[in-house]
Structure 1
Amino acid sequence: MDNQGYWDIYKNINIPLPKNSTIPHNQLDAHCQQILRHINLFSTDLPKDHIETARYTYYALYTYVNTNSSKVLKVLKNTGLDEDTIIVFTGDHGDILGERGLWYKMAWFENSSRVPMLFHAPKKFTPKRVSDLYG
């Protein structure tokens, strides 16, 4: 599938707009105000279509990574290496995607600070969800 195909998956899906995106910028904490000044958004709001485009793009990128990760798992299975290969998948940050009127990864709210870390090691671990550091 080409890049446009990943975008098209979400073309007719109503992706929710950010929550709390209408907080007046001057009511945000000093750090968040500085972020908005740094990216030239303190005195303006992004148009709704820009916000939607950013969020659709994020969903499309997520699907792209998911699709290609599945391809790696399929190759490992087809070559008989799936049970003896340890896979670690993680990221270095999330994206706040317009929540609280903020963008990128610069503010330490849940959306930008929580990151996935997945281990696939069938002979070493049974599947489970770990919700804290001591899980």
Structure 2
Amino acid sequence: MHMQLLERKKQASLGNGQEKPDLIVLAGWMHVFSTSFLEPLEKAGVKIINLHPALPGEFDGARAIERAFEELKAGRIKRTGIMAHYVIDEVDRGEPIITQEIEWNGEELEDLEKKIHSYEHGLIVRATAIVAKAIVDKRDI
């Protein structure tokens, strides 16, 4: 409970502009931000990026890996993937920064989850570096 209170206070201070980070990176964050939280950050030029275990436009929201697995097993899709994207008020619909396709080789769900998570670690680091470089380059102009 104490952590939830601290989290709410932090969200409130970020949302009302008391603090201004350059970049917020969400990885494993299962919380949908409200427009009233996102708008002040956007106006302040704060970039927010998210890691999502699906390709753009596929399996938005929770349980993406499970839903992809069911489609793979049924033969309706042949691959899945991951992306890092900018956060907007539509869940997992922000502009992709970087994507990576991941082949399915008949693995069971648990193994597919492990495989996807192993790729996510590198992807979020690369996406963070891309966005951080853009922020720094913009300042240097």
Q: Same fold (TM over 0.5)?
A: no
Larger radius of gyration: 1
Greater share of residues in strand? 2
Which structure has the higher relative contact order (CA within 8 Å, separation 6+)?
1
